[in-house]
Amino acid sequence: MSESENLEFLIGPLLRQAGLKLALAESCTGGLIGHRVTNVPGSSDYYLGSVTAYAYEAKERLLGVSHDTLVRYGAVSQQTALEMARGIRRVLEADIGVSVTGIAGPGGGLPGKPVGLVWIGLSTPGGDWAFQYFWKGNRVENKVESAQAALQRLYDYLTGELA
């Protein structure tokens, strides 16, 4: 793996230097981002934890995602990704919340929401963002791509490259 593929090793020192705490809300990635973050020795200095919220009920109860948001926009939406990121940030009292929700496949696609559609949310003291992606791989590849994209957006924020 190249250094850019190991973003968790670049993110750690940036979070530690800034004194920031990170929390994750994962759906379609099933804990993969948390797994990668905790592969870094000393990650407990900046990583508070995560919630893997797959079902609507989990998103509502554990992250505070509005039932109305889920009904109106669906679990895989900009609105849900933002509410998940804000929710995990609030629940774990983190400085930064990152969320991922999507359709990993091979089934589950709907009209207007194809397999491979993913939304990543980022909630920070400087604002909230949501990013949309369309992956073309199989289930595992889509999960890996989603985790990488979430870490890339976090890295972009920490390095001041996020517009």
- The pLDDT of residue 30 is above 80: yes
Would you list the DSSP string of 7-46? HHHHHHHHHHHHT--EEEEESTTTTHHHHHHTTSTTGGGT
- The dotted CATH code for 3-158 is 3.90.950.20
40-59 tens-digit pLDDT: 999 999 999 999 999 999 99
Q: What is the mean pLDDT of the chain?
A: 95
- pLDDT at 1 (0 to 100): 43
- pLDDT at 163 (0 to 100): 58
93-126 tens-digit pLDDT: 999 999 999 999 988 888 889 999 999 999 999 9
Q: How many CB atoms lie within 10 A of CB 2?
A: 5
The domain segmentation of the chain, as residue ranges, is 3-158
- The pLDDT of residue 142 is above 80: yes
Render the burial of 45-70: b for 16+ CB within 10 Å, e for the rest.
ebbbbbbbbeeeeebbebbebeeebb
- pLDDT at 3 (0 to 100): 46
Provide the whole-model pTM. 0.95
Share of the chain above pLDDT 70, in %: 96
Dihedrals phi, psi of 127, to nearest 5 degrees: 140, 180
- In the chain the beta strands, taken as DSSP E runs, fall at 22-26, 47-52, 96-102, 117-124, 127-134
